[in-house]
Amino acid sequence: MARLSMSEAIVAGLREELAADERVFCLGQNIGSFGGALQSHRGLWQEFGQTGRIIEAPISEEGMVGMSVGAALCGMRPVVEIMFSEFLNLTMVPLANEAGQIHFKTDGLLRVPMVVRTMFGTSAGGHPEDYHSMLAHAPGLKVVMPSGPRDAKGLIKSAIRDNNPVVFCEHMGLLHARREEVPDEDYRIPIGVADVKRPGRDVTIVATALMLHRTLKAAEQLAREDGIDAEVIDPRTILPLDRETILASVRKTGRLVIVHEAWKTGGSGAEIAAVVAEEGFSALRAPIVRVAPAHIPIPFGAPLQKLFFPDEASIVAAVRRAAS
């Protein structure tokens, strides 16, 4: 068992799947000897380049995804990297209209087993835009968002073996941050299963990616200063959503706070709130509270970005409001 960063864990999962299944191949920009953006494919060119399954692509996001859809329909299992989430907007026809719908439109005759990797999030670099909520609106797609190395490796392996198109969202602020013990053996984490990262009894907090780690810090502060025992849930998968785990927690605590980095308006947190309002309303003892950025463009400068994205203080204030 090795201590890996999230980026290293994802690459380890890719390496195992490339070695185990000759139908798996990677496609993207600068993923060859350069190793990919933020070293997203580090070492894979040296190991698998001679097999022709590490493919350098031109700057054509729509073309890359379209090619991957065709390859998947022909029996391959492509893993295509669209460097940054903002560029997913260029791929919506082949991704949402074709990959996500072909299985339904052919009455189950055809499937599109492909993975689209993409990076997002506040970090030292640029390209912070988070468009996962838009993807969760498209039927037929699965949307995965790990928050740590162990989950990331198990989820990328599940995504590659899934018979449906999966968008795998990687937070740039987590890729080379904290390390975790990651099992060496073959393991997978099921898509659509949330994880309770911190048990609690007073309030349920659902948080994703980097916001999960800020929420866990906020939960410790709340316990220390207010005696509020927060239960923290990482959905891990935005779509399909593990409704049962979230509803079970809300029925126990009676309160719900949702934290994410995507814009609040139309964000995936609104869907979580709607699920609880529709299916668990009688358990609520206070209004649902969402903590997310305002509906304005993301500022470029670091000081303004710090004000824009939720932090521990805003999460603590939201929980105190829900618990009052």
Strands (E) across the chain are located at: 2-4, 24-28, 54-56, 77-84, 115-120, 142-144, 166-171, 180-182, 195-198, 203-207, 230-234, 237-239, 256-259, 289-291
| Catalytically annotated residue among 127, 132, 137, 171 | 127
CB contact at 8 A, 186 and 154? no
Q: Which residues contact 301 (CB under 8 A, 6 or more apart)?
A: none
Q: Is residue 127 annotated as a catalytic residue, yes or no?
A: yes
CB contact at 8 A, 197 and 216? yes
Question: Parallel, antiparallel, or unpaired: how do β-strands 115-120 and 230-234 relate?
Answer: unpaired
Q: Which residue has the tokens 């139309």?
A: 266
CB contact at 8 A, 152 and 13? yes
CB contact at 8 A, 232 and 216? yes
CB contact at 8 A, 121 and 172? yes
Q: Which residues contact 111 (CB under 8 A, 6 or more apart)?
A: 72, 102, 103, 163, 164
Residues across the chain = 324
Active site residues: 127
